[in-house]
């Protein structure tokens, strides 16, 4: 297992600065990120060596996602952070150089264990935040090696394709187009989107 170049406290401070505050979700996100990085062999994800050789799939769109970005340096715009919003406090870390991948899930039982690790704290929210800082990985997290197949169109780098929707004229990159009855369409025109024209 790899030792990270930054301390837990440094990562917690960076995550709180990015998120705009500290909370139990931030602490969980930092702990998830640190555990994932250690197990895929990345000691400093922000270094020139690693910043383009790591990818993270985050499974929740809550506080932990900001902490994962702060610790790993992965971003949607860099195409190194992928949101698979399953509503699960989990993330998968991939070392693109070695292919090693691990999925780290916060254990729900950790909430019940919080009083054991922060016994003097009466506020449940603060108790969880403090407990998650010191709780051993084995009680806080489930960690498993997984296999992730990343299609070429999802890899970091320049777009591999660029087409025009034949209905609305929007440009669609990276093979996100849909062909319906012989017409090349963007997904909103083909399937409907979160907006209406």
pLDDT tens readout for residues 86-127: 999 999 999 999 999 999 999 999 999 999 999 999 999 999
Helix (H) or strand (E) holding 189: helix 187-191
Q: Where in the chain is the domain with CATH 3.30.1330.130?
A: 8-152
15-49 residue pLDDT tens: 999 999 899 999 999 999 999 999 999 999 999 99
Share of the chain above pLDDT 70, in %: 100
Cα 53 to Cα 82: distance, rounded to the nearest angstrom: 14
Q: What pLDDT is recorded for position 196? A: 87
Model confidence band, residue 51 (pLDDT cutoffs 50, 70, 90): confident
Q: Where in the chain is the domain with CATH 3.30.60?
A: 158-191
Helix (H, G, I), strand (E, B) or coil at 184: strand
Cα-to-chain-centroid distance, residue 178: 27
Measured in degrees and rounded to the nearest 5, phi and psi for residue 31 equal: -65, -40
Neighbouring residues of 10: CB distance < 8 A, sequence distance ≥ 6:
none
Closest CA to 60 of 26, 83, 28, 31: 83
124-168 residue pLDDT tens: 999 999 999 999 999 999 999 999 999 999 999 999 999 999 999
Candidate CATH numbers 3.20.20.140, 3.40.50.261, 1.10.10.10, 3.30.1330.130; the one for domain 8-152? 3.30.1330.130
Class of domain 158-191: alpha beta
Q: Enter the tokens of residue 21.
A: 């505050």
The model carries a pTM of: 0.93
In the predicted model, is pLDDT for residue 1 greater than 90?
no
């Amino acid at each position: 297992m790899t030792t990270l170049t930054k301390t837990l406290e440094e990562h917690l401070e960076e995550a709180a600065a990015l998120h705009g505050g500290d909370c139990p979700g931030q602490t969980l996100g930092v702990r998830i990120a640190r555990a994932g990085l250690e197990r895929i062999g990345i000691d400093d994800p922000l270094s020139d060596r690693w910043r383009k050789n790591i990818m993270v799939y985050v499974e929740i769109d809550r506080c932990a996602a900001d902490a994962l970005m702060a610790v790993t340096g992965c971003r949607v715009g860099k195409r190194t952070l992928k949101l698979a919003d399953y509503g699960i406090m989990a993330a998968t870390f991939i070392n693109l150089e070695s292919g090693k991948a691990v999925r780290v899930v916060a254990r729900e039982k950790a909430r019940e264990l919080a009083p054991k690790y922060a016994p003097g704290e009466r506020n449940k929210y603060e108790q969880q935040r403090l407990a998650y800082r010191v709780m051993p990985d084995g009680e806080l997290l489930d960690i498993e090696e997984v296999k992730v197949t990343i299609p070429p169109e999802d890899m970091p780098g320049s777009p591999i394709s660029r087409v025009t929707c034949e209905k609305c004229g929007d440009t669609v990159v990276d093979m996100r187009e849909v062909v319906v009855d012989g017409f090349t369409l963007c997904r909103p025109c083909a399937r409907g989107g979160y907006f209406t024209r």
